[in-house]
Structure 1
Amino acid sequence: MEIIKELGRITVLPISRFTAHGAYLTLSEGQEVLLPQGYLNGEEKEGDEKEVFIYTDSEDRLVAVTNRPVALLDEFAVMPVKQVAAIGAFMDWGLPKDLFVPVSEMGKPMKEGESYLVMVCVDYRTNRLIGVSKYQDFVLADTEGFEEGQEVEALIFERTDLGFKALINQHYEGLIYGNETFTGVSTGDHVKAFVKKRREDGKLDLQLTPIGRQKYEEGAEKILDALKDNQFLPLHDKSSPEEIKSILGMSKKHFKQSIGQLYKARKIVIKEDGISLVD
């Protein structure tokens, strides 16, 4: 059975004809695919082009839709489970028909309401799009190209005892340690992160703030912004880490380094009960 090359992708296709059910679009190999009536605005005409996503409906017929799923073919996304059955799980990926993850393609048993990292793949036996949560089969182990301090795009996909697992640039696995996470992050968040260390197993340790001196400058700017709003912050050397995290969202070590930098620059006054801007 031949795989339609537009399957699972966003593509622009011309309208070939209309029926009571919608408009038929012409695929690159000459086949037609239906764009249901609900996706038309009533102003289209033959020859017009529509940007659509191609997948299969509940009866395994090719269908086009104008809304975009959270992931295309060969892409990862974090998706919530809508329903679990004996044969697999049905994921919400933003389309009318849920994405099916067979039991054989689950990295671990799934639970309704929980979210998991899933890649969109083609089941070549049926020509259907399916989800695969065995992400380890797809992530790349060769991370030699990454350098300490490098900025990356990260998708938070699982919380563990150590912190948060993250997918880096859609291809690599990393970890953000929980005791270094001072701003709220949740599973499914896309964040800007920085490479802290490349481990022997090829995985990458990440942090959410820039590495080195730039980190302190960012912390100093954050403290200055808070002081401009409040004129005074009741934080000092003896403040608890919890107080500092609650008010500024940073660690006590980061706070002390940042106020040291501001003090040397004569931007702040350090008092016994807190800090304030220099008049």
Structure 2
Amino acid sequence: MEEVDEQMTEHKPGFLAQLTVKGQEGSRWILDGDDEDIMINASEFETQPEIGDAVEVFLYMNRRGELTATLNKPDMTIGSFGWGRVIRIDEKEGAYVDIGSSFEVLVNKADLPRVKALWPKTDDELFMTLRTDLGGNIFGRLATEERVLELIADAPKELFNKNVKARAYRLLPVGSFFLSTPETYRIFVHHTERENEPRLGEEVEIRIIDVREDGTLNGSLLPRKEERLGDDADTVYRYLTDVGGKMPFSDKSTPDEISEMFGMSKAAFKRALGKLMKEGKITQGDGWTTVK
């Protein structure tokens, strides 16, 4: 990958580097970092290296402020992007994320949604890169829309009306943006196409409702019509059984009555009653609906 090759010349925290084994000092090996020696724990090697061996490592600052190397290369580096798994949330600091290396990184709370209900939870995944502060300490940074557009794959027309698993990477009042996993298709879900707003990093199953000419997708988190019909019928039938098998609601009830009691439109209510009657589960008469 071009980004990785460029990083090989950087002996800075957050980058990959190709270094040469220079010697051993106690339980650590010394790597030649040109201007300074860089240490790596001997336990990182499955087999003992030899002086002069070249090794590919990831560089970071240890707790003593020393530039240190690890063979456990992360899923993203400064300049490249990947998915980081949330391992814990600190309400004062933000989200601590497993990047696939020897240590976790913090995504600062300033980078997370203002509404804490939309913060990621443990095991959600964030599409992100790495950054460092002035001291060289590594932090996580969420991918910007500009970079996402550079990294996404073109979606095929065959995805129309298919279900795709994806994770939310950007939340706006107008809707939610997702990246499919593992293909990295970009999917936009308008706020009218969802019942609840997903968390940042939450994985959901999205029905594709449009494949755009630019290769991106529009999706919906609402069930298909036939699925909604089944859910509405279940809601009505469950209510009927809970109240003893008879209710003073029918297809003659007003829209306001239906909305207040069942949270659905009159048209949806009538379709649900029709389904239950077709299945022989209910009867209607004199404004009442009764379980058979």
**TM interval, short-chain normalised:** 0.5 to 0.7
CA apart distance, 1:94: 4.2
Task: Tell me the residue number matched to 2:176.
Answer: 164
5 Å matches for 1:31-180? 56-58=60-62, 59-63=66-70, 72-73=75-76, 74-76=81-83, 92-94=96-98, 97-98=104-105, 111-114=110-113, 118-120=127-129, 131=141, 133-134=143-144, 135-148=148-161, 150-170=162-182, 171-180=184-193
1:167–1:174 Cα contact (<8 Å) kept: yes
- The letter of the residue matching 1:136 is L
Compute the displacement of 1:129 (Å). 8.9
Cα offset, 1:214, TM superposition: 4.2
* Residue deviations 1:195-223 (CA, integer Å, cap 9, x gap): 12223443322222443434433443454
AA in 1 matched with 2:233: A
> Larger helix proportion, structure 1 or 2?
2
Call closer, same or farther: CA 1:239–1:188 in 2, change over 3 Å.
farther
Identity %: 17
Match of 1:211 in 2: 224
Alpha-carbon offset, residue 24 of structure 1: 0.7
Determine the C-alpha separation between the residues in 2 that align with 1:182 and 1:211.
13
* Deviation, structure 1 residue 138: 1.4
Q: 1:227-266 counterparts in 2 under 5 A? A: 227-229=240-242, 231=244, 238-240=254-256, 243=260, 254-266=268-280
User: What is residue 181 of structure 1 aligned with on the other side?
Assistant: 194
Q: TM-score, normalised by structure 1?
A: 0.54
What does residue range 9-24 of structure 1 map to in structure 2 within 5 Å?
24=43
Taking a change above 3 Å as real, the CA distance of residues 91 and 214 of structure 1, as seen in their structure-2 partners, is closer
Q: What root-mean-square deviation, in Å, do the aligned CA atoms of Structure 1 and Structure 2 show?
A: 5.0
SS where residue 224 of structure 2 aligns?
A: coil
Residue 91 of structure 1, CA deviation: 6.1
Report if aligned partners of 2:205, 2:221 keep a CA contact under 8 Å in 1.
yes
**Residue in 2 aligned with 1:197?**
210
Report the TM-score, using the length of structure 2 for normalisation: 0.52
> Could you tell me whether the CA contact under 8 Å between 1:158 and 1:187 is conserved in 2?
yes
CA contact (8 A) 2:194 2:220 kept: yes
For these two proteins, the number of residue pairs brought into alignment is 219
CA-CA distance at 1:186 after TM superposition: 3.0
Q: Is the 8 A contact 1:119 1:133 kept in 2?
A: yes
Gaps of 5+ in 2: 1-7, 17-25, 29-39, 51-57, 114-118, 121-125
Residues 78, 187 of structure 1: 8 Å contact kept: no
The structure-2 alpha-carbon separation of the partners of 1:60 and 1:221, relative to structure 1 and needing over 3 Å to count, comes to farther
Asked if the contact 1:122/1:130 (under 8 Å) is kept, the reply is yes
2:168 maps to a residue whose letter is I
SS in 2 for 1:24: helix
Kept in 1, the 8 Å contact 2:193–2:222? The answer is no
Counterpart Cα distance in 2 of 1:273 and 1:77: 57
Q: What is the identity, as a one-letter code, of the residue corresponding to 2:83?
A: F
Residues 193 and 219 of structure 2 are in contact (CA less than 8 Å); yes or no, is this contact kept in structure 1?
no
In structure 2, how many angstroms separate the alpha carbons of the residues matched to 1:235 and 1:181? 28
Distance in 1, Cα, partners of 2:215 & 2:248: 43
Structure 1 counterpart SS, 2:110: coil
Partner secondary structure for residue 271 of structure 2: helix
Contact 2:195 2:222 in 1 (8 A): no
Displacement of 1:63 in angstroms is: 4.1
Larger Rg: 2
